[in-house]
Amino acid sequence: MEQLKEKYEKFKAWQIKPHEVVKLSAEKHVCATCGTEFHGNYCPRCGQKAAIGRYSFKSAFLLFLDVWGLGNRGMFRTIRDLLLRPGYMIRDYLNGMQMAYFPPFKMFFLLIALSVLVESGLNVKFENTINKTKKESVQGLNDINTNTQINETDANKIVTDTFDIIGKPIIVQTAQNKHNKVININGESIETKILKKLENIVNWIIDNQTLVSFLWLITLSLPLYLFFHKNPNIPDLRYSECFVAMVYITNMMTIISTAGSFFLPGKSTAIELLSYILSIVPMKQLFGFSYKRTIAKLIGAFVLLTIAGITLIVMIVCLGIYLLHLL
């Protein structure tokens, strides 16, 4: 038990300060490219690495990764730190340790691309879960649609004859419900039209995950900044810093959920949920509030966002109804 505690204390110390950079050696190098004599790891004139050996598998592999911009700047260290000490890593990055970590936005786009790849078949079951999600959501919308269409059948019967003559939207009363329904020229009700639009929107969201995630991040960062900008660790947090932190936290969540959809394709909802819960950890480590306050603030931010979202939807619906009445 004591040993376990000691190990945990050691781990905690490592989380806060994981590595000391080794001092430069006094060894002199001659640049293999330009011939400049220098101390250190890189030639100050042309950037050539001091340590050059024969090509190894490792250096070849790094060069291969470099094609996608992955070979440099500690991709693996960033993934490890995002999983083991995310909040402290973000603090270090914001404090200027930029060369040690993979840049946040580049990582964001690469990870989303990877997650799409995994969801579209690169997983242990070779299962395309994107198509499945699409089919299911479209099916769900169709179910709603058929329900409303049954109600409209009678209404359509009454108006079929008058359509050709008038050729303009007509207001009819259905037998089942006394609501006024606007039927347009094609015999499609407004509901059907709205559902079709919704179907398009759902498909667009599934097809444009990167853009949607990015827009979602921008939206979410506003209430989060409001709740976290005055914090014990970074008293004068800027919005841009908050946004970078959020991008890294999203990267952490994408790593976890992508691992989930790789090993459990189609059944990764629980892991995705877990990644949301785990996002509390970096918030706590970075801003220094207690877990209780961090959770309270997160809930506050989401409630604010929900209220804002509902207000926006109500406004759009009201505007829509107003425009319909003008027609």
Q: From the CB of 24, what's the least distance to Zn ion, in Å?
A: 17
Q: From the CB of 232, what's the least distance to Zn ion, in Å?
A: 46
Whole-angstrom Cα Rg for the chain: 28
Q: From the CB of 37, what's the least distance to Zn ion, in Å?
A: 10
> CA of 303: how far to CAs of 186, 227, 296, 300, in Å?
42, 12, 11, 5
Site for Zn ion in 294-313 (CB under 5 A): none
Nearer to Zn ion by Cβ, of 37 and 143: the residue is 37
CA–CA separation, 32 and 41 (whole Å): 13
Q: What is the DSSP string of 273-313?
A: HHHHHHTHHHHHHHH---HHHHHHHHHHHHHHHHHHHHHHH
Site string for Zn ion, 192-221 (x = CB under 5 A): ------------------------------
CB 176 within 8 A of CB 154: yes
Q: From the CB of 46, what's the least distance to Zn ion, in Å?
A: 3
Closest CA to 280 of 291, 265, 269, 270: 291
Calculate helix-pair angle for 291-326, 209-228, nearest 10 degrees: 120
Site string for Zn ion, 149-168 (x = CB under 5 A): --------------------
Nearer to Zn ion by Cβ, of 33 and 208: the residue is 33
Nearer to Zn ion by Cβ, of 10 and 45: the residue is 45
Compute the residue count for the chain: 327
Tokens 């059944």 belong to: 267
Closest CA to 213 of 175, 187, 249, 177: 249
CB 300 within 8 A of CB 227: yes
Site for Zn ion in 93-152 (CB under 5 A): none
Nearer to Zn ion by Cβ, of 43 and 155: the residue is 43
CA–CA separation, 43 and 50 (whole Å): 7
Nearer to Zn ion by Cβ, of 33 and 176: the residue is 33
Closest CA to 82 of 111, 53, 54: 111
Q: From the CB of 45, what's the least distance to Zn ion, in Å?
A: 5
Site for Zn ion in 12-71 (CB under 5 A): 31, 33-34, 36, 43, 45-46, 48
Nearer to Zn ion by Cβ, of 48 and 59: the residue is 48
Site for Zn ion in 236-295 (CB under 5 A): none
Tokens of 45: 């004139």
Q: From the CB of 290, what's the least distance to Zn ion, in Å?
A: 52
DSSP category for residue 103: -
Nearer to Zn ion by Cβ, of 32 and 307: the residue is 32
Q: From the CB of 42, what's the least distance to Zn ion, in Å?
A: 9
How many residues bind Zn ion (CB under 5 A)? The answer is 8
Nearer to Zn ion by Cβ, of 32 and 84: the residue is 32
Q: From the CB of 71, what's the least distance to Zn ion, in Å?
A: 20
Binding site for Zn ion (CB under 5 A): 31, 33-34, 36, 43, 45-46, 48
